[in-house]
């Protein structure tokens, strides 16, 4: 580190920020939100801290969207945030995080749907409208569990699958990365 600092400061006449600069393996350092895998052929991936920061930002957006029309909320608030974030990280070569984030966002949207139907009777009616049998819808709607637990249950995944959110216009990070990879 000392020899690099001397070279950069004396030869190149640049300042070195000693707090953020370090000499380390590529997979141990973060650069502009990216890190590298430690494989023989390293791949670029998004750092965990950036994914966590995205989680926190989107949680705030979801708190503001609880009592709104789902389609307008997705198009006006959620999609621009998702699109901007994933466009910045489009150079990533690993895509597992995008699949996880897409699933997490859909689950958060199912939480909103569950909470918007305040009474079990309304929940049952909506689940029947979405294609569940009346018996399964009744058993599901009257469970004493919370919204987060119910949003991850199989009946909610069946009633509100990915294609439902695609029809509402939800932007998919995984699909975007797959399209970017083809070009």
Per-residue pLDDT reduced to its tens digit, 19-42: 777 676 666 667 777 888 777 788
- Which residue reads 């989680």 in tokens? 55
* Residue 8 banded pLDDT, cuts 50, 70, 90: confident
pLDDT, position 128: 96
**What average pLDDT does the structure give for the chain?**
88
% of the chain residues with pLDDT over 70? 93
For residue 142 the two structure tokens come to 């009257």
Per-residue pLDDT reduced to its tens digit, 141-168: 998 889 999 999 999 999 999 999 999 9
Check whether 92 has a pLDDT greater than 70: yes
Residue 137 gets the label, from left (phi > 0), alpha (psi -120 to 50) or beta, of alpha
Distance CA 35, CA 110 (A): 32
Instruction: Report the interhelical angle of 173-182 vs 96-116 (nearest 10°).
Output: 150
Distance CA 101, CA 91 (A): 17
Mean pLDDT, to the nearest integer, of 109-123? 93
Distance CA 88, CA 127 (A): 37
pLDDT, position 142: 93
Per-residue pLDDT reduced to its tens digit, 129-142: 999 999 999 999 99
């Amino acid at each position: 580190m000392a020899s690099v600092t001397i070279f950069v400061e004396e030869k190149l006449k640049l300042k070195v920020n000693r707090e953020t600069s370090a000499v380390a393996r590529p997979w141990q350092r973060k650069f502009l939100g990216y890190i590298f895998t430690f494989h023989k052929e390293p791949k670029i991936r998004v750092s965990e801290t950036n994914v966590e920061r995205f989680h926190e930002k989107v949680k705030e957006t979801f708190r503001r969207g609880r009592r709104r029309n789902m389609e307008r909320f997705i198009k006006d608030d959620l999609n621009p945030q998702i699109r901007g974030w994933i466009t910045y990280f489009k150079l990533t070569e690993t895509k597992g995080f995008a699949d996880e984030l897409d699933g997490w966002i859909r689950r958060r949207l199912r939480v909103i749907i569950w909470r918007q139907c305040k009474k079990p009777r309304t929940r049952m009616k909506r689940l029947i409208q979405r294609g569940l049998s009346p018996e399964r819808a009744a058993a599901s709607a009257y469970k004493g569990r919370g919204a987060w637990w119910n949003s991850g249950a199989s009946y909610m995944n069946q009633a509100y699958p990915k294609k439902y959110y695609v029809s509402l216009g939800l932007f998919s990070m995984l699909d975007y990365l797959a399209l970017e990879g083809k070009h």
